[in-house]
Amino acid sequence: MSSHNESILREPLITGKDITYAKITDDILVPVENKPNKAWWIGFTIASLGALLWVVSVGYTFWTGIGAWGLNKTIGWAWDITDFVWWVGIGHAGTLISAVLLLFRQNWRNSINRSAEAMTIFAVICAATYVVAHMGRPWLAYWIFPLPNQFGSLWVNFNSPLVWDAFAISTYFTVSLVFWYCGLLPDIATVRDRATGLRQKIYGVLSFGWNGSVKSWQRFEIVSLILAGISTPLVLSVHTIVSMDFATSVIPGWHTTIFPPYFVAGAIFSGFAMVQTLLLILRKVMNFENYITMFHIESMNIIIMVTGSIVGVAYLTELFIAWYSGSEYEMYAFANRIAGPYWWAYWAMMTCNVISPQLFWFKKIRTSIPISWVLSIVVNIGMWFERFVIIATSLHRDYLPSSWAMFYPTWVDVGIFVGSIGLFFTLFLLFLRFLPAIAIAEVKMLLKSSSLQHKTKLVQEGAFPEEQVQYFADSLGKYDSVIEEDIKALKIK
C-alpha cells in the first residue's frame, strides 16, 4: 500500500527532513530505551498519588459500605455511574481509531492508534472498577455472569440491561486488549531486537516470537482486519448497551429511544477529546511532532466538532420530544434540567459540549495547540456533566414529589473520581515508559507515500503541476513542525 504516489493535495502525515526507517524507530523508542526524564517522574508521582487516593477511597467504601458516598433513597446512582459512563465513553475513541478508521483506510490513524487504544484499555479498566465498586456487596460481583453454580437453578436475568452491560464491557475489553496487543507485536519485536540482557528476554517473551517474516506480516495484516471487523460493531454496541441501562427504565429523562445513537456519538466525542488531551502533551514531551502532526490534530478537532454537533442535535431533540410527548413527567424532567436546582450542571453541559466545539469551525482555533488542548478538556468536563445530568438530575426529581431529594457528594465520591483519573494516568505513563507510544511499523508504512520529504522529493522531480504544489505549500502553513526551509524547498523549482 505504500508503493504508489499519493496526491500532492493530501497533507503530509510525517514531517521533518532526513526521516529514515531507522530514525523513526530511534525517535519513537526514545522513552522506552532511556531512563525516564524529570517530566515523566513528576507526572508519574502525581498520577500514582492519585491512584493511591483511589485505593484509599475504594478501600474505605469496601470497608464501610456504599453509605460512604452521598447517595440516598432517591438517588441510587450518581457519581459512580456518571464516572463509569464517562470512562466507557472515553474508551470509545481507541476502537474507533483502530478499527473503523482502519477499515476506511484512513492512514493518519497509524500515528495515533497505539496510544488511543492504550487509552481505551485503561479507560475501560477505570470504568470496570466502578461496576464492582458501586455494588452493595462487591465480593459477589461474579454473580453478574451466568456461571454454573451450586445454588440450584440460580441464573442471571437476561432481561436486565446490567447483564447486557457486563457482557458488552467484558467483550469490549477483551477485543480491545487483543487488538491492541496484536498491533504491538512487531513493535515489541523491534524493541527486543535492539535490547540486551533481561530486557531482551522480557520483550522476547512479550513479542510472542515475532520473526518479521513475510508470512508473519501477512497474517498480521489479516488478523488486524479481522479484529477490526469484530471491533467495529463493538464501537456501536458498547455504548448502545450502556445507554440501555437508562433507556429501558421507566424514569423520565432515562426512558428515551434516542439514547443509543446519542450515547455513541457522545462517546466518540469524549474519546477523541481525551486522545487530543493526551497526544498534544505526548507529542511535545516526547518530541513526536513529526509523527503526530497538525494534520492529525486538525482531523481530530473536526471529528470533535462533528460529534459535538450530533450530541447537540440530540440534546435539542430530547427537549423537543419531551415537549411533544405531552407527558407531564417527561416535560417536568427536562424543565427541571434546564431550570431546576441542577440548572448549572445542565448549562455546563450545554456550554462545554454544544457551544465550545463549534469554535472549531474556525481554522485558527482548530489548528491552535493551546486552544485545542483547553477545549479538549472542556469537552470532557462537559461530557462528565452530561452523564451527571442524565443520571442524577433525572433521579433527583422523578414521579412522586415526596421523594425528591438532592445529591451531595462526599469526599469518597470525589476521591474515587479523582483517584480513577490518577489510576488512568499511572497506567498510561507506565505504558509510555515500557511500550512504543506510536505504532512504529505502521508509521513506517507512511514514509514512502505520505511524508513531507517524499512529497518534496516528488515536487522537486516536477511530478505535480505548479498550482497544486502551491496549494500544498499553503496547507503546510499551519504545521508547527514544518519550518520555512521545508516550504522553500518546495518552491525551488
Partner 1 sequence: MSSNKKYWKGLEELQQTPAFVKGSKSEFAEPIPVEDVLNEAGLSTKTPRRDFLKALGFGLGAVTLAACERTPVHKAVPYVIKPEEITPGIPNFYASTFNGQSVLVRTREGRPTSISANPNSIGLNQGTDATTAAAVLDLYDMSKLENPKLDGQDVDWKKLDATVIAALEKAAAAGKKITVVSNTVNSPSTLAALAKLGAKYPTTSHVQVDPVSYSGIIEANRVSFGKAVVPTYHLKNANVVVSVAADFLGTWVAGEEHTQDYIKNRDYKSLKNGKMSRHIQFESGLSMTGSNADVRIAIKPSEEGAVLISLYNAITGQSLAGGVSNKKAQTAIALAAKELTNLKGAALVVAGSNDVNVQLLVNAINSNLGAYGDIIDLDNYSKQHQGSDAAFQEFLKSAAAGQVGVAMFLNSNPVYDYFKSEDVKAALAKVDFTLSFSDRSDETASELKAIAPTCSFLEAWGDSSSREGYYSVVQPTINLIFNTRQAEQSLLVWSGDTISIHDFVKQNWEQNILAGTGKAWKDVLQAGFIYKGTEKGGAYTAQVDINSVTTAVVANGKAITGEVELKLYESTGMRDGRYANNAYLQELPDPVSKVTWDNYAAINPKFAEEIGVSENGTVKIEANGYEVELPVLMQPGQALGTISVAVGYGRTKVGKAGNNVGKNAYPFARLANGTVQFESKATVAKAGKTYELAQTQTHHTIEGRNIIRETSFAKYLKDPNSESGRFADSHKTYDLWNKYESPGHKWVMAIDLNACTGCGSCIVACNVENNIPVVGRDEVRRRREMHWLRIDRYYTLESTNGKLTEEKLIAKDADLDYEDVTVVHQPMLCQHCDHAPCETVCPVLATVHSSEGLNHMAYNRCFGTRYCANNCPYKVRRFNWFNYWNDSRFDNYLNNEFTQLVLNPDVTTRSRGVMEKCSMCIQRIQSGKLQAKMENRKLKDGDVKVACQEACSANAIIFGDLNDPESEVSKALRNERVYYVLEEINVQPNIGYMTKVRNTFEA
Residue 451 sits at φ, ψ, to 5 deg, of -90, 155
Tell which one of 5, 45, 149, 157 touches partner 1 (CB under 8 A).
Answer: 157
Residue among 60 and 220 whose Cβ is closer to partner 1: 60
Residue among 35 and 73 whose Cβ is closer to partner 1: 73
**Distance between CA 31 and CA 431 in Å, rounded?**
10
Does 163 bind partner 1 (CB under 8 A)? Our answer is yes
DSSP state at residue 368: -
Binding-residue total with partner 1 (CB under 8 A): 48
Contact between 162 and 245 (Cβ < 8 Å): yes
Residue among 148 and 401 whose Cβ is closer to partner 1: 401
Tell which one of 109, 134, 192, 296 touches partner 1 (CB under 8 A).
Answer: 134
Handedness of CA 41, 46, 51, 55 (dihedral sign): positive
Does 166 bind partner 1 (CB under 8 A)? Our answer is yes
Give min distance, CB of 162 to partner 1, in A: 4
Does 59 bind partner 1 (CB under 8 A)? Our answer is no
Q: Which grid cell is 85? A: 459512563
Residue among 58 and 359 whose Cβ is closer to partner 1: 58
What residues from 229 to 248 belong to the interface with partner 1 (CB under 8 A)?
245, 248
Contact between 311 and 353 (Cβ < 8 Å): yes
Part of the chain binding partner 1 (CB under 8 A), chosen from 152-160, 274-282, 343-351, 474-482: 152-160
Residues ≥6 apart with Cβ < 8 Å to 85: 127, 242, 263, 387, 391
Does 156 bind partner 1 (CB under 8 A)? Our answer is yes
Query: What is 440-482 written as a DSSP string?
Result: HHHHHHHHHHHBHHHHHHHHHTT-S-HHHHHHHHHHGGG-TT-
Look at residue 227 and give its three-state secondary structure: helix
Does 328 bind partner 1 (CB under 8 A)? Our answer is yes
Tell which one of 12, 31, 161, 422 touches partner 1 (CB under 8 A).
Answer: 161
Nearest to 242 by CA among 140, 101, 387, 135: 387
**Distance between CA 279 and CA 439 in Å, rounded?**
14
Q: Which grid cell is 279? A: 497526544
The 375-414 contact track toward partner 1, x by CB under 8 A, reads --------------------x-xxxxxxxxx---------
Give min distance, CB of 63 to partner 1, in A: 10
**Distance between CA 301 and CA 296 in Å, rounded?**
8
**Distance between CA 38 and CA 252 in Å, rounded?**
51
Does 355 bind partner 1 (CB under 8 A)? Our answer is no
Look at residue 65 and give its three-state secondary structure: coil
Start-to-end CA span in the chain (Å): 29
Residue among 137 and 201 whose Cβ is closer to partner 1: 137
Does 64 bind partner 1 (CB under 8 A)? Our answer is yes
* CB atoms near residue 49 (< 10 Å): 14
Give min distance, CB of 458 to partner 1, in A: 59
Does 60 bind partner 1 (CB under 8 A)? Our answer is no
Give min distance, CB of 287 to partner 1, in A: 46
Tell which one of 179, 259, 332, 431 touches partner 1 (CB under 8 A).
Answer: 332
Give min distance, CB of 95 to partner 1, in A: 25
Look at residue 14 and give its three-state secondary structure: strand
Give min distance, CB of 251 to partner 1, in A: 6
Angle, CA of 427, 50 and 35, to the nearest 5°: 50
Residue among 399 and 471 whose Cβ is closer to partner 1: 399
The 66-105 contact track toward partner 1, x by CB under 8 A, reads xx--xxxxx-xx----------------------------
**Distance between CA 401 and CA 26 in Å, rounded?**
64
Binding site for partner 1 (CB under 8 A): 64-67, 70-74, 76-77, 134-138, 140-141, 143-144, 154-157, 159-163, 166, 245, 248-251, 328-329, 332, 395, 397-405
